[in-house]
Structure 1
Amino acid sequence: MDYRLGGPADATAIAALFETSFVATFGHLYAAEDLAAFLGQFGPERWAAELADPALVFHIAEHDGRIVGYAKAGPLTLPVEVEGAALELRQLYLLADAQGSGAGQALLDRAMATAATRGAAAVVLSVYVDNHRARRFYERNGFVRVGRYTFMVGNHADEDDLMGRVL
Structure 2
Amino acid sequence: MEPITITEAGLADLAAVQQIARETFFETFVGSNTEADMQQYLAENFSDTKLAAELSNPDSWFFVAHEGEQVIGYLKLNAGKAQTELHEDDSLEIERIYVKHAYHGKRIGQLLYEKALSMAEDKKVSSLWLGVWEENAKAIRFYEKNGFTAFSKHIFRFGEDEQTDVMMRKVLV
TM superposition shift of 1:63: 0.7
Gaps of 5+ in 2: none
Measured in 2, the distance between the counterparts of 1:80 and 1:103 equals 27
Q: Which residue of 2 aligns with 1:159?
A: 164
Identity %: 28
Asked if residue 33 in structure 1 is aligned to residue 60 in structure 2, the reply is no
The amino acid of 1:103's aligned partner reads: I
Measured in 1, the distance between the counterparts of 2:86 and 2:53 equals 26
CA 1:11–1:79 in 2, change beyond 3 Å: closer, same or farther? closer
Asked if residue 141 in structure 1 is aligned to residue 146 in structure 2, the reply is yes
Asked if residue 13 in structure 1 is aligned to residue 20 in structure 2, the reply is no
Asked if residue 75 in structure 1 is aligned to residue 79 in structure 2, the reply is yes
TM superposition shift of 1:140: 0.6
What TM-score, normalized to structure 1?
A: 0.91
SS at match of 1:11: helix
SS at match of 2:154: strand
1:72-111 residue pairs with structure 2 within 5 A?
72-75=76-79, 77-80=83-86, 85-111=90-116
Provide the aligned length of Structure 1 versus Structure 2. Answer: 166
TM superposition shift of 1:34: 1.7
TM superposition shift of 1:145: 0.4
Q: Which of 45, 66, 69 is residue 70 of structure 2 equivalent to?
A: 66
Measured in 1, the distance between the counterparts of 2:128 and 2:63 equals 15
The worse-fitting range, judged by mean Cα deviation, of 13-22 and 129-138 is 13-22
The amino acid of 1:117's aligned partner reads: D
Measured in 1, the distance between the counterparts of 2:64 and 2:23 equals 16
Measured in 2, the distance between the counterparts of 1:118 and 1:81 equals 15
